[in-house]
Structure 1
Amino acid sequence: METVGLGLHFEELPMGKQFKTIGRTITESDIVNFINCTGMTEVLFIDLEYLENHSDIRGRVAPGALGYTIAEGLLVQSTMQHTGLAFLNMELDVRAPVFAGDTIHVECEVIESRLTSKGTRGLVRTRNKVINQNGQVVIEYTPLRMVKCRDID
């Protein structure tokens, strides 16, 4: 019986392939739980009076790291189950704030794809754009991952 929800193998990630994830709304609970879990107690994230009266940012802002990790979660559940082997490195650019109530999704393009010397796995780099409900790119990053090849019987 076929198992659904499995990730993409190396062979399914050629240069130029593009895809996007489903969306997810960032909630107040997401922000509070993330701050409590990570210890990111920056006043921008924990002091609503400060935000309202002293900050140039208006609204319940989320840490950039939260937007990035939710984007990774959207990708893990849709592209990496049973096939992702390692997250090796990345460049990250936070372009705009993410707020409670924003709905984000990730648009990906494969910009590097090559077999490793073992031949049973490949290295895949994608350009990931995290986009909010207004079509604005809020985060862009380029992870390099090690991905399994299909089993050869």
Structure 2
Amino acid sequence: MEVVGLGLFYEDLPVGRKFRTVGRTITEADIVNFVNCTGMIEVLFTDLEFVKAQSDIKGRPAPGALVYSFAEGLVLQATAQHTGFAFLNMNLDVKGPTVAGDTIHVECEVIEARRSKNRPNRGLVRTRNVIVKQDGSPVMEYTPLRLMAARTTG
């Protein structure tokens, strides 16, 4: 029986390929749960009176780590089930705030793809991932390098 929802293989990810994920709204509950789970109990995330009086951000800010984590979830659900084998490195740049109620999606472009020298049944794929809010503004950009399964060994 066919299994649906499997990820993309190295051969499916040539340089220049572009795609985007579905959206995900960040809720107040997401922020509270993430902050408590990770121990990020900084006042910016836990004290709404402080945010109102001191912060330049309007609304309940989401930690950048939460936004990145949700983005990775969106990307991996769509591309790496059974085919993603390692996250090797990345550069990350925060471009703007995300608050409770914002809906994010990820726009991806393959910027590097090469066969692994040590593992011929694997490929290395780097993407430029831009996390975008509902108003079209980018909030984060990162460039992960992943080890992906290949269909062939050559």
Question: Which category describes the TM-score, using the shorter chain as reference length?
Answer: over 0.9
Point out where structure 2 has 5 or more consecutive residues left out of the alignment: none
Hey, what does 2:130 align to over in structure 1?
Answer: 129
Residue matched to 1:140: 141
CA distance in 2, matches of 1:104, 1:55: 22
In structure 2, the partner of 1:72 is 72
Instruction: State the shift of 1:151 in Å.
Output: 5.6
Distance in structure 2 (CA, Å) of the matches to 1:53 and 1:141: 31
Return the letter of the residue paired with 1:137.
Answer: P
How many residues were matched structurally? 152
The TM-score normalised by the length of structure 2 is: 0.96
Q: CA deviation at 1:41?
A: 1.1
Give distance in 1, aligned partners of 2:21 and 2:57: 28
The alignment's C-alpha RMSD in Å is 1.0
Show CA shifts across 1:40-98 (max 9, x none). Answer: 11111000010111222221100011100000000111110000000000000010001
Runs of 4+ residues over 4 Å off in structure 1: none
Partner of residue 49, structure 2? 49
| SS in structure 2 of the partner of residue 44 of structure 1 | helix
**Cα distance in structure 2, aligned partners of 1:145 and 1:52:** 40
> Per the alignment, in what secondary structure is the counterpart of residue 45 of structure 1?
helix
- Paired residue type of 2:83: T
Give 1:24's aligned residue. Answer: 24
Cα distance in 1 between the residues matched to 2:140 and 2:66: 11
Question: How big is the shift at 1:22?
Answer: 0.2
Secondary structure of the structure 1 residue equivalent to 2:85? strand
* TM-score normalised over the length of structure 1: 0.97
Aligned to 2:151: 150
Unpaired runs of 5+ residues, structure 1, are none
Local SS of the residue matching 1:147: strand
Which residue identity is paired with 1:85? Answer: F
| 1:32-43 correspondence runs (5 A) | 32-43=32-43
Cα distance in structure 2, aligned partners of 1:54 and 1:79:
40
